[in-house]
Structures are given as C-alpha cells and as structure tokens.
C-alpha cells in the first residue's frame, strides 16, 4: 500500500518574500478539484503543468495516510475538473525548495484562496527530524481548515481574518 507522510505549515510571507523565493528550484501551476471529499476517502483530480493525475487518499492517522496516485490523460483531467468536480476548484502556484536534505513544496494559492501561503514537506518516517527554513511558521498539519478538500468547500477568502 502506498503511504504519504506529510507535515504542513503556514509560511511567514515577509520572510518568504525576502529569503525563501531565492531558494526555489522549480515552479508549477496547479489546478485541482475533488470528486469525493468525505474524510475517509478523498478523490482528487489535478492538472500540474501539462500532466493530469487522479489521487485517492485515505483517512489521516498522525501525519500518515494511504495515498494512491495515477497518471491520467491531460484532456480527461481537464474534463473532470470542468464538468464533474465539486466547486470551488483549487488554483495555486507550487514552488519547490531544497532545504537541509528535504524538498519543501510552497503553495501560493490563487482565486478563492488567494492570500494563503502554505508549505508542506513529505517525510519517510513520522519521527524524522526536520531542519526548518526560517520562513516556516505555525504547523497546521492537524488543522482540517487547511486541507485542500476543505479549502475547496470553504475558501480562505471567506474566512474573514487572514491567517499566516
């Protein structure tokens, strides 16, 4: 079984702008939506650059959950996003940063979630030590408001007071 071990954090925007952006190794636009958002199984469709994927994620336990991801034709992914996915779609720019032996993915949200800046790091073990970049803020791994499926149903712009 495929397993994802991931921790998520708010990004300190001022530090990211002055220090973090200089470390970016790649940038990719992402558009994604959800076919299912029940907490026991989330089914996501994503277009990242010119690639389509279908991802099924199970219930989170600690920082881990089952994850199965499959490449699908780009045209199919676009039809699924436009015609079958729940609204609101998630739009973001993903910045990849290599730091202290780990790859950090910093998502700059657009559209209905504009203003939100999150970082995630995938680990090989829940107890793995992490050296944090100085632009990392509060950990939000266990806060369901920041799950992409929940940001689709309850976008950040509607929260009132900005987080991060």
Whole-angstrom distance, CA of residue 112 vs CA of residue 154: 9
Whole-angstrom distance, CA of residue 113 vs CA of residue 92: 9
1 has a pLDDT exceeding 90: no
97-126 mean pLDDT: 96
Whole-angstrom distance, CA of residue 157 vs CA of residue 114: 7
Whole-angstrom distance, CA of residue 71 vs CA of residue 163: 33
Distance of CA 128 to the CA centre of its chain: 20
Instruction: Encode pLDDT of 148-157 as tens digits.
Output: 999 999 999 9
3-159: CATH topology is: Hypothetical Protein Pfu-838710-001 (2.40.320)
């Amino acid at each position: 079984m495929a397993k994802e071990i991931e921790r998520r954090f708010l990004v300190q925007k001022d530090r990211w702008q002055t220090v973090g952006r200089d470390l970016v190794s790649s940038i990719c636009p992402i558009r994604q939506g959800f076919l299912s958002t029940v907490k026991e199984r989330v089914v996501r469709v994503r277009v990242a650059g010119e690639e389509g994927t279908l991802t099924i994620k199970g219930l989170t336990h600690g920082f881990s959950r089952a994850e199965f991801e499959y490449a699908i034709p780009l045209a199919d992914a676009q039809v699924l996003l436009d015609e079958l996915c729940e609204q609101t779609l998630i739009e973001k720019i993903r910045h990849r940063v290599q730091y202290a032996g780990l790859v950090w993915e910093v998502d700059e949200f657009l559209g209905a979630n504009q203003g939100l800046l999150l970082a995630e790091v995938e680990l090989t073990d829940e107890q793995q030590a992490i050296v944090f970049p100085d632009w990392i803020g509060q950990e939000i791994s266990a806060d369901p408001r920041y799950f992409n499926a929940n940001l689709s149903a309850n976008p950040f712009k509607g929260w009132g007071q900005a987080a991060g």
